Amino acid sequence: MVIQVAAALERLLRDGHNFTSLGVQRISDEAGIARSSFYRYFPDKSALLIKVTELAASDAFSILVAWTETGFDDREDLQKTLGAVVAQQRQHSDLLAALQEVSGYDQDVARFWRQLVESGAGSLRERLVKGQKDGSVDPDIDPATTASFLVWGAERLIALHVAENPAKEDAAMARRLSFTFWAALGKSKT
């Protein structure tokens, strides 16, 4: 049922509907369920938005976390990772735009997004500390500041890129962003 409602919401957003003006009845109709069934799973539209975004964004953050665990010493692997993150963002761009809109006035949605992005920054921060210990990361960088800057900066930059540029430019964006990450990590140009 959750997947069915999530797919309905994404379809409505992709078709140009504004999340704030979408009613529960319209979402329920699109999902092919009764309004009462909607409320069995979601207390309100904000809870729906959080759940759907959690499902959609989990892949992108999993990709980033996997990179911190396995591909941390290869810039080309980083570029592929960032390319996959850009692809995920593009796939769910309407949903993520709705999340940004709602987080401006709904504290629960804003808190959810902050926690999700900060969990990605936390994984990177842990890997930076490990890298400083094993000598693979510049000892002069501050892991917390660097991780937050890279993850929050990448999240915003990718969102803007997806909103303003065609998909054919995604690979170039991932490449440019990989060099920025690499430099911020104090890595060589390789």
What CATH code is assigned to 1-42? Answer: 1.10.10.60
CATH class belonging to 45-184: mainly alpha
Topology agreement, domain 1-42 and domain 45-184: no
Please provide the DSSP assignment of the chain as one string.
-HHHHHHHHHHHHHTT--TTT--HHHHHHHHTS-HHHHHHH-SSHHHHHHHHHHHHHHHHHHHHHHHHHH-TT-HHHHHHHHHHHHHHHHHTHHHHHHHHHHHTT-HHHHHHHHHHHHHHHHHHHHHHHHHHHHTSS-TTS-HHHHHHHHHHHHHHHHHHHHHHS-GGGHHHHHHHHHHHHHHHTT----
Q: Where are the domains of the chain?
A: 1-42, 45-184
The residues of the chain scoring below 50 in pLDDT are: 189-190
Per-residue model confidence (pLDDT) at position 71 = 66
Residue 142: the pLDDT is 96
pLDDT in tens, 135-169: 888 899 999 999 999 999 999 999 999 999 999 99
Q: What pLDDT shows up at residue 190?
A: 47
Q: What is the pLDDT of residue 180?
A: 92
